[in-house]
Chains A and B, each alone.
Chain A
Amino acid sequence: DAGITQSPRYKITETGRQVTLMCHQTWSHSYMFWYRQDLGHGLRLIYYSAAADITDKGEVPDGYVVSRSKTENFPLTLESATRSQTSVYFCASSESGSWGKSKDYEQYFGPGTRLTVT
């Protein structure tokens, strides 16, 4: 199906374990983003990518690693999960707007991954 998908949708893991959340989009959008959603904070940007092999930190990058070897995929890895990383994670994508800064275009979001770290 076309669109943006995330897997798994639900994940329970233990403190200290490594976990990878997957994101896949079929629109060939240049930009991809990872957010976490916590009560009272709205959505906060973790990392984003302007194109394959180009990534940059967002507001809350500590404890996370990203890669983007292919345009359509943008996995997020928690190298050593902590309880504070219990959250709902959203992936998003957008087209590249003026000056390649994705200024113009709205972001389309995946369905989210609910991660619980015990």
Chain B
Amino acid sequence: AQKVTQAQTEISVVEKEDVTLDCVYETRDTTYYLFWYKQPPSGELVFLIRRNSFDEQNEISGRYSWNFQKSTSSFNFTITASQVVDSAVYFCALKGSWGKLQFGAGTQVVVTP
């Protein structure tokens, strides 16, 4: 069975602080994909990143960075110098050999000015 755990329900920060969102996953598959999605207050789901299980390189995209550690089954997401526009719910998701996406429960990020 596959499982994605986002233990942090809500994180509140002040603008310009860094925030790290934790994602821990479980799967028996050797090949799988991990994703992060953002859901702003407007409600749509925005794709942020896809990472396959063979690529453990960390990735940086502007103020966003992702740390994939296969040894600890984690795929953490950091927002550097947070801004009010980063306020959203962030979902981590896992896609294994059966092709379907398993979502975590989400982490609400609140950035105050």
Contacts and interface: CB of A to CB of B under 8 A. Distances in A.
A111 B105 contact: no
A101 B99 contact: yes
Contacts, number: 52
Contacts of A40: 105
Contact of B91 (A31, A42, A112): A42
Contacts of A31: 99
Q: How large is the interface on B (under 10, 10 to 19, 20 to 34, 35 or more residues)?
A: 20 to 34
Q: How large is the interface on A (under 10, 10 to 19, 20 to 34, 35 or more residues)?
A: 20 to 34
B2 to A, nearest CB: 11
A10 to B, nearest CB: 11
Contact of B43 (A42, A45, A111): A111
B23 to A, nearest CB: 12
B44 A106 contact: no
9 contacts: A40-B105, A41-B105, A42-B4, A42-B106, A45-B101, A48-B100, A103-B33, A103-B95, A108-B47
Interface of A: 31, 33, 35, 40-45, 48, 58, 88, 90, 92, 97, 101-104, 106-109, 111-112
